[in-house]
Structure 1
Amino acid sequence: MSEIPGPKPLPLLGNLASVLSTSAQTNVDFAREYHERYGPIFAMTLGGQRMIFASGHALVAEMCADPRWSKSVHATLAEVRAFAGDGLFTAHTGEPNWAAAHRLLMPAFGPMAMRDWFPGMLDIAEQMFTRWARFGPDAVIDVGDDMTRLTLDTIALTAFGLRLNSFYSETMHPFVGAMTRSLVEAGARSERLPAVQSLMLGANRRYRADIDTMRGITERIVADRIAQPAEDRPDDLLERMLGTDGLPAGNIQYQLATFLIAGHETTSGLLTFVTHELLAHPALLARARQTVDRVLGDRTPAFEDLADLGYLGQILRETLRLHPTAPAFALTPDQNLTLGGYEVSADEDVLVMLPTLHRDPAVWADPDTFDPDRFAPERMAEIPEYAWMPFGHGARACIGRPFALQEATLVLAMMLQRFDLERCDPDYELVIQETLTIKPKDLRVRAVARTSRPVQVAPAADSPRGRDPLLVLYGSNGGSSASLARTIAADSAGQGFDVTCRHTRLAGR
């Protein structure tokens, strides 16, 4: 059987020279460059370990459709475990706390729970847009910075009942700096030789200090909640974790860190990317604004409005196609298998680079073109399974997908409703800033308040649109159907259905 394509490794050094000599500025660029050179699958050797990249749709579908493949905590994620431990994102699938947390927290992100998240999302969005309006049309807005403040404050308020008040401070919350540095350092550590790492005394000291900062913040969140009288405690994620049937104390700390990181970092990147794409495509921006004006006019959005903002959902999905903010995941087989005719050993990691998968010309026509109509309802059936995976795969897919898309839809709608945006630099070219996630670097705009908008009558409180009912039933031996069912339910709710999602026992089980 032939070897997987890729650069020939040198004795001892492996492919280190190839990595050091590349002109790519990010791991995403590096992977794209090597996929263009070697095809949909290639392999490299670093630190004596073979790394396989398989990002063509046919290969990804081969893995994802086979239950013998599952999520792997690859080298970078293994480093992130230093501060996220066995939280949902960095846990090994077989770890008991992953199953316990997934079972406990998944219902909080079901379609019926989305209404409960809405007031907190609206609260923080109002803070940001009020700030924009008060600063006036000449103020320079760092989009990535403000979207980070927005999404961090939103997850802290809605999930943990905590007001960080980031829009009332000139500096970012300490968690953000500690998190960003730690993610960068975790990625770097996964590529360093152990002997080199031990010599980096300053970096090691900074890393430990940042982890201590994040740990101290999550410990204070828990301590403050425990100190509250029971009758004053909100019914949120933290309360679920602390309940009688909740999680071990150590795991709660890891879950808080996980949600504070994953619950804001990827969504802030999405909102920054979508701002860039709409400014780069004025005709699509005008169409999006027409949708918002038709649905909202000049009134404050209500939860029921989200179902009528379908074109904004198309824009967000197309943005995630071109710019998946969590750009990679790894799969591993539980036995020796072949992939595309090449041998892969049991427990060997195969990295899927989503920017490459999402631009596979075998699936996507004009793959580099920003076209939200790819995700129009009548064209969704054209998209093959496993061709669009910004939220991961199977049972290990992101449980916060409905939360992220709802928050992004609301914020995008309010931004288009209230402001005309213009780039501070008309010649701005997209540069990717990469930690474990990606976002545009140095995107700065000015926001001019819109003075005239169509007036709409406020909607009735109880969804007057006569939503069609939809019942989604799921049941399986392995538990992976629950994630798929809730994804279908969340997307259907966004399309205007009145959804019920329910577990059912399969016949003969």
Structure 2
Amino acid sequence: MAIPALPIIGNLLNVDFNYPLGSLIQKGKVYGPVYTMTFAGQKFIYVCNYEIAKELYDGARFHKIVTSGVANLRYAAGNGLFTAQIDNHEWEIAHRVLLPHFGASKIRNMFPSMIDIAEQLCLKWARFGPTALIDVSSDFTRLTLDTIALCTMSFRFNSFYLGDRVHPFVEAMTAVLAEAETQSGIPPHLGFLRWSSQAKFFKNINFMTQTCREIIGNRRDVAADTPDLLDAMLTGQDAKTGEEMTEESIINNMITFLIAGHETTSGLLSFVFYFLLENPDALQKAYDEVGSIIGGERILVNHLQQLPFIDAVLKETLRLMPTAPGFFVTPFKTEILGGNYAIHAGEPILALLHLIQRDPAVWGYDAEEFKPERMLKHNFEKLPKNSWKPFGNGKRACIGRAFAWQEAQLVCLVFQSSEADLGNSADSAENFE
């Protein structure tokens, strides 16, 4: 169903820009399973249930399209793994060079660096004392940014030693992300009205690029062997073409790792805490599992495979609150979606995961409830194919999902070292649903 739009501004007035995702979700509940809106002269199609969404996962019919706020990030990340359009040559080279380095054994080798940063978080919280109110979302952002930087390029932001300040790169990146999202709702021909904001946008991008260039230069000046992803990009060759990644491609992907990786995992961990604190029985099970498997010992990478309830908590959190709330695809040619909706090549379709992964047809009458038990292995394996899809689809699915999962599993370190309650937070369930 097409939601009526106004000339020039389209459906801008139908969106709450303080929480645009909430507007899309609400419209999906009213107008779904498929509805359309228009922004900046472009029609967008939104799919809200599993039965229709599973058609979008057919790589022979649909492919990823970079649009909306992500398209604006191309100014910062170019043809990086997250922002490149389909069949981009630079993307293909980078993907083949990097894919082996995101395998299970390589990710396990990153465990000491992940623990390094996670212990900094736990030490900070321990110093607050048992009655302090902690902004976990802010600290989880510090955790994920520092972990990504250390594991991928052996660079330290030292976020837990800066007080309320952040590293200048992080400050610039945060501003770029905010401006990219703002620009996505503004018609291109009106962009000149925000010339000052756009100037700051490109100034911040230039700073990020120059920082990455300096990191590369410092690495090339040092002869020491540093087996991280930056080293893989600097020294690796594409097995298919024999080509190496260009410096521009390396910089694009350094920025990509930080942009794409930090918000998703930090958001996941924040919602893990929210749901567990709202569900005391599940919280106690998490504490009990960590206590019985790890106890007071120093956590080892082998422990992570022995925590099925923690694994289920992470999966259930990503079902209810996928931190990448959807992904865009478009058909190669005109397709009839769901036997009823004609979609033309180039038209962007958003698989709205927040609704798709709460579809009662898949998840039952209690689809809106947080129940980690439904994600325990014997239940998870019975789910319909592609009904849990938080890491994207096909060859453009998140290359770093194993990295993100291991990083998120280290939430058990918090359950080992502290106890928590929700406190008097202003964030109620309505803010998250």
Q: Equivalents in 2 of 1:135, 1:177: separation in Å? A: 25
**Retained in 1: the 8 A contact 2:78–2:252?**
yes
* Partners of 1:45 and 1:134 in 2: CA distance: 50
- Aligned-pair CA distance for 1:383: 1.5
Q: Deviations over 1:296-327 (max 9, x none)?
A: 01011001111101110100010011111111
Report deviation, 1:14: 6.4
2: distance between equivalents of 1:336 and 1:149? 44
Query: 2:312: which partner in 1?
Result: 314
- CA shift in 2, pair 1:23/1:151, >3 Å: closer
Displacement of 1:49: 2.2
The equivalent residue for 1:286 is 284
1:9 aligns with 2:5: yes
Alignment match, 2:359: 360
- Which residue in the other structure is 1:369 paired with? 369
What is the number of residues matched between the two proteins? 424
Structure 1: gaps of 5 or more residues: 433-439, 442-509
**Shift in Å at residue 235 of structure 1?**
0.8
Partner of 2:55 in structure 1? 62
How does the TM-score come out when normalised to structure 2?
0.94
Measure, in 2, the Cα distance between the counterparts of 1:24 and 1:33. Answer: 14
Partner of 1:103: 96
Give 1:221 shift. Answer: 1.4
Q: For 1:257, what is the secondary structure of its paired residue?
A: helix
Which residue does 1:480 correspond to in 2? Answer: none
- In structure 2, the residue matched to 1:414 is 413
Q: Does 1:239 align with 2:235?
A: no
Q: Displacement, 1:136?
A: 2.0
Contact 2:9–2:187 (CA<8 Å) still a contact in 1?
Answer: no
Measured against aligned partners, the alpha-carbon deviations of 1:118-170 in whole angstroms (never above 9, x if no partner) come to: 11011111111112222322443211111111111111111111122111111
Instruction: Give 1:256's aligned residue.
Output: 254
Cα 1:124–1:191, aligned 2, differ >3 Å: closer, same or farther?
same
Deviation at 1:38, TM superposition (A): 1.2
Q: Is the contact made by 1:93 and 1:99 (CA closer than 8 Å) also made in structure 2?
A: no
Q: 1:428 deviation in Å?
A: 4.2
Which of residues 72, 87, 92 in structure 1 aligns to 2:85? 92
Match of 1:119 among 103, 112, 121: 112
TM-aligned CA distance change 1:23 to 1:333, over 3 Å: closer
Output the CA distance in 1 between the equivalents of 2:173 and 2:9: 31
| Cα distance in structure 1, aligned partners of 2:69 and 2:331 | 19
Number of the residue aligned with 2:301: 303
Q: Does 1:381 align with 2:376?
A: no
1:345-399 alpha-carbon deviations (Å, 9 max, x no partner)? 1121111111011111111121110011111111113311221111000110001
Which residue matches 2:19?
Answer: 26
CA RMSD of aligned residues (A): 1.8
Q: In structure 2, which of residues 56, 59, 72 is the aligned counterpart of residue 79 of structure 1?
A: 72
Distance 1:416 1:220 in 2: 38
| Residues in 1 aligned to 2:4 and 2:151: alpha-carbon distance in whole angstroms | 51
From 155, 165, 171, the counterpart of 2:148: 155
Match of 2:344 in 1: 345
What residue identity is the alignment partner of 1:271? L
Distance (whole Å) between structure 2 residues aligned to residue 186 and residue 81 of structure 1: 9
**Cα shift at 1:84:** 0.8
- Counterpart of 2:403? 403
Residue identity in the other structure for 1:418:
S
Distance apart, 1:23 and its partner CA: 5.4
Mean alpha-carbon deviation: is it higher for 45-54 or for 32-41? Answer: 45-54
Give the distance between the partners of 1:312 and 1:35, measured in 2 at CA. Answer: 31
Matches within 5 A, 1:182-197: 182-197=176-191
Q: Are residues 418 and 384 of structure 1, via their aligned partners in 2, closer, same or farther at CA, if it must alter by over 3 Å?
A: same
CA contact (8 A) 2:320 2:354 kept: yes
Deviations 1:391-438 (A, max 9, x none): 00011000111111111112x111011101123316641465xxxxxx
**CA–CA distance in structure 2, aligned partners of residues 249 and 415 of structure 1:** 38
Q: CA–CA distance in 1 between the matches of 2:369 and 2:17?
A: 22
> What are the residue-to-residue correspondences of 1:410-489 with 2, within 5 Å?
410=410, 412-425=411-424, 428-430=427-429
| Structure 2 residue runs without a partner (length 5+) | 238-243
> Could you say what secondary structure the match of 1:363 adopts?
helix
Partner Cα separation in structure 2 for residue 23 and residue 244 of structure 1 = 45
C-alpha spacing 1:249/1:143, structure 2 compared with 1 (3 Å) = same
Which protein is richer in strand relative to its size? 1
SS of alignment partner, residue 362 of structure 1 = helix
- Counterparts of 2:280 and 2:317, CA distance in 1: 15
Structure exhibiting the larger radius of gyration computed from Cα positions: 1
1:58-113: CA deviations, max 9, x gaps?
11111213512111112322111000110000011211111111111111111222
* Structure 1 counterpart SS, 2:214: helix
Equivalent residue, structure 1, for 2:241 = none
Q: 1:364 is matched by which residue type in structure 2?
A: W
Question: Equivalents in 2 of 1:23, 1:173: separation in Å?
Answer: 31
Aligned AA (2:378)? E
Q: How does 1:171-250 map to 2 (within 5 A)?
A: 171-229=165-223, 232-243=224-235, 245=237, 246-250=244-248
The sequence identity of aligned pairs, in percent, is 38
